[in-house]
Amino acid sequence: MYLNQPIYNQVSFSSFLFENDYLALIPEIFLISAGIFLLVYGCIFSTSSTYNFPILSTNIGWFVILTFIYTILLIYNAEINNAILLYNTLVIDDFTQFIKICCLLASAVTILISLDYLKAKSLNAFESMILILLATVGMLFLISSADFISLYLTIELQSLAFYVLAALKRNSEFSTEAGIKYFLLGAFSSGLLLFGCSLIYGFTGTISFSECAKLFAGTAGLSESISTSTFSIPACQLGIIFLLTGFLFKIAAAPFHMWSPDVYEGAPTPVTTFFTVTPKLAFFAAFLRLFLEGFYDLIDTWQTVIIISSSISMILGAFAALTQNKIKRFLAFSSISHAGYLLVGFACASIEGVQSLLLYLIVYIVMNIAVFAIILSGTRHTKNHTLSQIKYITDLAYLAKTNPLIAITFTITMFSMAGIPPFAGFYSKAFLFFSALSSNLGLLAILGILTSVLTCFYYIRLIRIMYFSIPKTWCNSVRIPRGNAYILALSFYFLTFFIFYPAPLYLVVHKAALALCI
Amino acid sequence: MSNILSFLLVSPLVIAGLISFIPAKNTLLIKNIALISSSVIFVISLFLWVEFDESTSLFQFTETLFQSNIAQGSVFDGLNFVLGIDGISIFFVILSAFLTPICLLVGWQSVQNYVKEYCIAFLVLESFMIGVFEVLDLLLFYIFFESVLVPMFVIIGVWGSRERKIRAAYQFFLYTLFGSLLMLLSILLIYFQVGTFDLEVLYTTQWSESRELLLWLAFFASFAVKVPMIPVHIWLPEAHVEAPTAGSVILAGILLKLGTYGFIRFSIPMFPFACMYFTPLVMTLSVLAVVYVSLTTIRQVDLKKIIAYSSVAHMNFVTIGLFSQNIQGIEGSVLLMLSHGLVAPGLFLAIGVLYDRHKTRILRYYSGCGRVMPIYAFIFVFFTMANISLPGTSSFPGEFLIMIGIYQNNTFVTFLAATTMVLGGAYALWLCNRLIYGTFKPHFISTFSDINRREFFTFLPFIISIVWIGVYPEPFLNVMHCSCVNLLYQGY
């Protein structure tokens, strides 16, 4: 299926043990070593009295962004683009390279737009940047994981970083509560996931995705008949259900979404940004590989679960966000409904499905980053000159008067999230529904259409508040920081002008989907 | 000359882009640029008519933007940016180009805030409207069809008159969106079967019986909202009443035509069997609308609501003609659409004149205003007469042809539809009577404020073209004849 390991006659330690694997892992190795270096650098200088105990969060933030950019370059110029590494543990192909680049970009942008927030809130925690870096490393490995052990380990690596990040603001009760909640539920879901892995390992004797695929080949529809002492399809199905539960927990899809509104709300806003954006990419990448490669022949089992979860997410996302007052909770529910749409692409289990899922993910990330870039830049200034972020939805009131450009960008983003035609959000949704139709999931497509009319209600509500409702206390807008402005402008152009030249993104996404599915 | 269609499509967007770079305080400059450029675009659009070949039903001026496939490599690699017009869509392209400078001119004084955004919104809207009538690609049609919502939502919401405008904007948005998303689903289904969105290919495609009925219904859900047919017509009076004058002009002039244009372009030629099958449904709904809405109109007190409801009645009369299955009916429908695109905007402009002066639309307030506004009274009566299709005005040939057409098909429907003559006369004359004549109320209307020169010149093109079509409709009928015959043979 994949290219074999390059074999060299030269005998040295590295080629003896890992052959050429380290060459393919250079981006990750670089990222880890850079992380360690930055950690040491931060520890030394932030405790140095000669420099008067400097606050290093912005400084290290820039370094982390730089590191991410170098890593992107390393991945982009990688010599080995298609391989199985470390004895079937990791896999590299076009799909993983593409998702990794997206992941790194998303993380870099997240840090970029939150630098100003850190400064304004005087969060003296440079380790948050290192944690984001470590979580990103975990996600890079997660994306290219090819067996259960690496899957679980990498999930834990990024989750641990996330637990700490959620509880970053130690003087805020919300943040600590979010951290605890996220830790408990995340650990619980990891436990479920691990139990699923062990069930499958126990009943198949293998941890590798590709070997699972070979084992299950041709067993579709034979679930009851094959049950020997070592190999039992029903048990594996049980394992798959557990795995799926863990996965749905992690991407905050509907029946297992309960942590996400609280955590999104409680965690500091930059962290929330990070939560909504990057993990989705990594988890979808890893589990697409697992299910489309490893369990493709057991599609009956997992497709049903995903269809159910997808429809519940769409419905719940459409109704629950209607009554939200706080913007971060609102975005949490909106991201639940987006997770439902993404799962439509997952449920298709076809090349088109994967392609439209990836496209939707990218557009979703751009939209979310645009929204958070606005929320993160303290665009308000009250009479007492206390800078306050946008916290409630009503804080957006009359943004159109105080900062019309931002209001227009926000409006475009909201229309795009609702899937109104000329914007990028429409294309991605139409893609999803088309692939659902071509996989005989017509009902799911109809449900998606109906719920997207409902979601329009609340996206337009935000626009209405921005343009028409009169605020209780008048605020002046302050200049938004330059980084956020650039990111906003870029995402605005992306969302608006995507219609004119969508071909490059289509091609890239298509290539990635082909690499995964064939 | 070969890429005139893409020029018409793109140039308003480009001008809107240019305007966005002008500082917002130079309102006069912005208004002038927008007005002059949109007038130039209108004049250029007239070349379509000059160069149009009347002897064929083929799409003319066809061109493909972005020669390489814009969606290459995707599941949608059948998506083509193909433009072209035939004898039916040509008039709507011209009408869109015609109404935009009028809209800008209407807001010349009454729009005081967000002038820059006003101009940009209308130019963008113009581009989208022209796009709807020009594209020969199903998905792109859908995209433009829906895109119109966004500037329209802004126009109603921002420059609308009262607090209720937000609710109206909401209703407008959600009603239309709901209908058209069903259409999106069926478009995807069509693509799933055929593998292309190209209209000329789709015309030659055969559908299975049940699928054809399903697709027709899904398209109908969308078009019926836009027309608007009877159960889903509520958004229209709301949107009209709350919209600014220019918004009403566009709503009545172009957006109401989108539904009937959709029937002509998609439902009838693509699903002929389903059209036959559902003709009774359409007839029932349309006749109901004609009678019920006309009766509703009589008891309104809001000036704009009266005109809005009368638009509903007229558009349903158009659908009766479209489904009459003969050439007179179809040609009459297209002509009536065109005529309604002139008459209803004219009436809305006339009401805008009153509203600008007194900031109310309650009918009783204005009784006897003919005494202080004689020229206005003349113009208002003229448009009212055109609205009830007095012979000699543009509505008459259209309604007359529809009557002829439907009479060959169904006498009973003809009988019911003909009540529009009486009922339309009832509400229109009643309105005219109460507005122009009646007790003069000097407490309310104390100053002599007849229409000014700018307003007069906005009315003039409407009056000229209404009389022209009414007296000599040949140039219009000749252009649309071949396309209508073709439609008839494709459809029935």
pLDDT in tens, chain B (492 residues): 578 888 888 899 999 889 888 888 888 888 888 899 999 999 999 998 888 888 888 888 888 876 555 555 555 666 677 888 888 999 999 999 999 999 888 888 777 777 788 888 888 888 899 999 998 888 889 988 888 888 888 888 888 876 666 777 777 788 888 888 888 888 888 888 888 888 888 888 888 999 999 999 999 999 998 888 888 888 888 888 888 888 888 888 888 899 999 999 999 999 989 999 999 999 999 999 999 999 999 888 888 899 999 999 999 999 999 998 889 999 999 999 999 999 999 999 999 888 888 888 888 888 888 888 889 999 999 999 999 889 999 999 999 999 999 998 888 999 998 888 889 889 998 888 888 887 777 777 666 678 888 889 999 999 999 999 999 999 899 998 888 888 888 876
Cβ separation B174–A445 shorter than 8 A: no
DSSP characters for B224-276? Answer: HHHTT-GGG-THHHHHHHHS-HHHHHHIIIIIHHHHHHHIIIIIHHH-HHHHH
pLDDT of residue A1: 42
Q: Find the DSSP H helices in A2-126.
A: 13-17, 21-24, 26-46, 57-76, 94-120
Residues 395-434 of A with CB under 8 A from B: 415, 420-422, 426, 430-431, 433-434
Q: Residues of chain B whose C-beta is under 8 A from some C-beta in A?
A: 66, 68-76, 128, 139, 142-147, 149-150, 153, 157-158, 166, 170, 173-174, 177-178, 181-182, 184-185, 188-189, 191-192
Q: Residue B70's pLDDT is what?
A: 54
Q: Which residue of A has its CA nearest to B181?
A: A449
Q: How far is CA B471 from CA B88, B353, B467, B468, B476, in A?
A: 20, 27, 6, 5, 12
| C-alpha span between A135 and A279 (Å, rounded) | 9
Res A106: pLDDT: 95
Q: Please answer whether residues B484 and B264 qualify as being in contact, where contact means their C-beta atoms are separated by less than 8 angstroms.
A: no
B188–A507: do the CB atoms touch at under 8 Å?
no
Q: How far is A321 from chain B (nearest CA, A)?
A: 17
Name, in order, each residue with C-beta under 8 angstroms of A303's C-beta and a sequence gap of 6 or more: A347, A349
* Chain B interface, best mutation among A460, A500, A505, A511, by max B CB count within 10 A: A460
Cross-strand bridge partners of residue B391? B393
Predicted pLDDT at B433: 87
Contacts of B71 in chain A (CB under 8 A): 502-503, 506
Q: Which two tokens stand for residue B425?
A: 């006369």
**Shortest distance, CA B363 to any CA of chain A (angstroms):** 28
Contact B440, B448 (CB under 8 A): no
CA A448 to chain B, closest CA, distance in angstroms equals: 10
Domain definitions of chain B by residue range? 4-491
* Chain A hits for B146, Cβ within 8 Å: 420-422, 426
Inspect the interface and report whether the beta carbons of A468 and B166 lie closer than 8 Å. Answer: yes
Q: Is some CB atom of chain B closer than 8 A to the CB atom of A291? A: no
Judging contacts by C-beta atoms under 8 Å, the chain A residues touching residue B144 are 421
Q: Which of A421, A464, A509 sits opposite B147 (nearest CB)?
A: A421
Query: Nearest CB to A434: which of B75, B144, B157?
Result: B75
Are B184 and A433 in contact (CB < 8 Å)? yes
B72 interaction partners in chain A (CB closer than 8 Å)? 503, 506-507
Which residues on chain B are in Cβ contact (under 8 Å) with A506? 71-74
Report CA-CA distances (Å) from A239 to A156, A193, A206, B82, B225: 19, 8, 13, 51, 49
Mutate to test the interface with B, among A351, A434, A462, A464 (most CBs of B within 10 A): A434
pLDDT for A392: 81
Pair B202, B196: CB distance under 8 Å: yes
Is the sign of the CA dihedral A461, A346, A277, A156 positive or negative?
A: positive
The answer to whether the Cβ–Cβ distance between B184 and A430 falls below 8 Å is: yes
pLDDT values of chain A reduced to their tens digit, one per residue, 518 residues: 444 555 545 555 555 556 667 788 899 999 999 999 999 999 999 888 998 888 888 899 999 999 999 999 999 988 777 888 877 888 888 899 999 999 999 999 999 998 888 887 777 788 889 999 999 999 999 999 999 999 999 999 999 999 999 888 888 888 899 899 999 999 999 999 999 999 999 888 888 888 888 888 776 665 555 555 556 778 888 999 999 999 999 898 888 888 899 999 888 888 999 989 999 999 999 999 999 988 888 888 889 999 999 999 999 998 998 888 888 999 999 999 999 999 999 998 888 899 999 999 999 999 999 999 988 876 566 666 565 677 788 777 777 777 888 888 999 999 999 888 889 999 889 888 988 988 888 899 989 988 988 898 888 888 888 887 777 777 666 778 888 999 999 999 999 988 877 888 888 888 899 888 87
Return the closest-CA partner of residue A69 out of A38, A106, A114, A113: A106
How far, in Å, CA of A507 to CA of A489, rounded? 24
Beta carbons of B76 and A467 less than 8 Å apart:
no
Point out which residues pair with B302 in neighbouring strands: B362
* Contact by Cβ (8 Å): A141, A91: no
Q: Do B142 and A457 touch (CB under 8 A)?
A: no
Burial of B226-260, coded b for 16+ CB within 10 Å and e otherwise, reads bbbbbebbebbbbbbbbbbbbbbbbbbbbbbbbbb
Nearest Cβ partner for A506 among B73, B128, B184: B73
How many Cα neighbours within 13 Å face the side chain of A186?
Answer: 23
Contacts for A121 with CB less than 8 Å, ≥ 6 apart: A268
How far apart, in whole angstroms, are the C-alpha atoms of residue A167 and residue A275? 13
pTM check: above 0.90: no
Q: Do A467 and B157 touch (CB under 8 A)?
A: yes
Residue of B nearest to A459 (CA): B170
Tokens of B234: 């509520």
Alpha carbon A409 to its chain's center: 23
CB of A340 closer than 8 Å to CB of A310: yes
From A450, A456, A510, residue closest to B74, measured CB to CB: A510
- Interface probe for B, chosen from A456, A457, A496 (most Cβ of B below 10 Å), is A456
Q: Are residues B188 and A433, on separate chains, in Cβ contact within 8 Å?
A: yes
Choose, out of B114, B177, B193, the residue to mutate when testing the contact with A (most A CBs < 10 Å): B177
From CA B364, how far away is CA A28, in angstroms rounded?
Answer: 78
Test B192 with A468 for CB contact under 8 angstroms.
no
Decide: helix, strand or coil at residue A170: coil
Nearest-Cα distance to chain A for B139, in Å, is 10
pLDDT tens for B358-405 read 888 888 888 888 888 889 999 999 999 999 889 999 999 999 999 999
Which of B153, B182, B188 is the closest to A437 by Cβ? B188
CA of B70, closest CA in chain A: separation in Å?
A: 6
Residue B172 CA to residue B225 CA, distance in Å, equals 10
**C-beta of residue B329 within 8 angstroms of C-beta of residue B401:** yes
- Nearest of A150, A152, A191, A187 to residue A166 by alpha carbon: A187
The total of other beta-carbon atoms located within 10 Å of residue A51's CB is: 11
A445 vs B170: CB contact, 8 Å cut-off? no
Report the number of secondary-structure helices (H) and strands (E) in chain A.
21, 2
Taking the CA of residue A419 and the nearest CA in chain B, the distance in Å comes to: 10
Burial B300-317 (b: 16+ CB within 10 A, else e): bebbbbbbbbbbbbbbbb
Query: Which candidate, B75, B472, B36, places its Cα nearest to that of A351?
Result: B75
Q: Give me the residue from B66, B143, B191 closest to A421, CB to CB.
A: B143
Instruction: Identify all chain A residues contacting B158, using CB atoms and an 8 Å cutoff.
Output: 467
For residues A434 and A439, what is the distance between their CA atoms, to the nearest angstrom?
A: 9
